[in-house]
Amino acid sequence: MSDKFDVIVIGAGPGGYVAAIKAAQLGLKTACVESWTSKDGKSQVLGGTCLNVGCIPSKALLEVTHKFEEASHDYESMGIMTKGVDIDVAKMMERKSGIVQQLTGGIAGLFKANGVTSIHGHGKLLAGRKVEVTDKDGKTKTYEADNVILATGSKPIEIPPAQFDGEYIVDSEGALEFTEVPKRLGVIGAGVIGLELGSVWARLGSEVTVLEAQDSFLPAVDQQVAKDALKQFKKQGLNIITGARMTGAEVKRKLVNVSYEDSKGKQEAKFDKLIVAVGRRPYTDGALAEDSGVTMDERGFIFVDDNCKTEAPGVWAVGDIVRGPMLAHKASEEGVMVAERIAGHKPQVNYDCIPNVIYTFPEVAWVGKTEEQLKAEGEEYNVGSFPFAANGRAMAANAAAGMVKIIADAKTDRILGFHVVGPQASEIVAQGVIAMEFGSSAEDLALTCFAHPTLSESVHEAALAVAGGAIHVANRRKKK
């Protein structure tokens, strides 16, 4: 006899574990299936890619290396004299692992507190909302559910010219496990992951070259912000080459020999390590039986409607395996929405208000539309921006690069886009998300009182600048 649940979630990443907890909180008998196993092979590991080999460990390394960079190069200008600052890579990695272990263990505690049944094994959706789970010993057991939520996440894309070998040519996971600082580091892909990982090792002394196939830098980002960020990254020593199409990589004498083509023709470069960060793909390997009723597109994304329902009755899918940005917070919001819909509520995810962040220094964050998108759509808009160079708190923190930029509808003044490059952009962008979620106008922000001195005053000034009324920077002259 199979065990029966109201909800079975397959996958315990940010989409899956959040959906499971919310479903249990709503009074539904809930189980969550996860196959990830600890390195010793003894226990289940929750949290998915984000907590184990993605968002959390990368931010731990970014934070440590930023502090090292400051201590090595910036403190003297502030009157702090340091000598012989060094980095203990092993200790840095140990700290990172400790943070990961604490957070993943916390999820297990939350499951227990909320009454979620955790099932260790590989989950496979069968017809009729049945879930077959195969444990580490190969034994299978079948469970039944009124609703199944697929949340199996994604994995790094591997490209033919640079096959992963786990030592010299690695994916984003391997780049978080280097035991020493590579002298020369190559990164394929100047996206979020490539820039973050490249920054980590550049701060510790690596000569970093980033090869990006696209001709423009960060094409999804507002280009005024992207150009500002590129200028800062190059100042930091990141050698970013756009329009560079990789043609091959071969390991010889413990070096990775990379060949690529750019505007100057055929090129070659040698690296001690090569990180391939060209994106991620949906991970549904072995997760769907042929008669499950769930359909996918040619890239492996599961078809869902606006509320994350698949074409199979009672089956839902969230996170990286469905349309939209591959972001942990987007997955979590979808997980909550689905759990609430199963319980009979009618929530929706506002996909126009999902923030994006690149955790470099300066950080890059945005929500809503870019100028380029609005121009292409023929929309009329007004722009207000304010540089951190005119912000007292940013100057005091020795972090005055970048800006806040607000784009508003020319007729209604409703905020259409909110873009930040600079210190704590990941925190500041939340102000734009909240404003847009409530349908705020730029004037609403302009009429809001911000504490002084704060970085957030730059939001206030950018909002004032939309109507040409900034106080602490010269305003653009209006066209006659």
Q: What are the residue numbers of the active site?
A: 452
Closest CA to 193 of 16, 9, 360, 28: 360
Q: Which two tokens stand for residue 447?
A: 């009429």
DSSP letter at 351?
G
Long-range contacts of 225-231 (CB under 8 A, 24+ apart): 225/364, 225/366, 225/403, 225/405, 225/419, 225/420, 225/421, 226/364, 228/401, 228/402, 228/403, 228/421, 229/358, 229/360, 229/362, 229/364, 229/402, 229/421
Q: Are 179 and 89 in contact (CB under 8 A)?
A: yes
Q: Are 211 and 186 in contact (CB under 8 A)?
A: yes
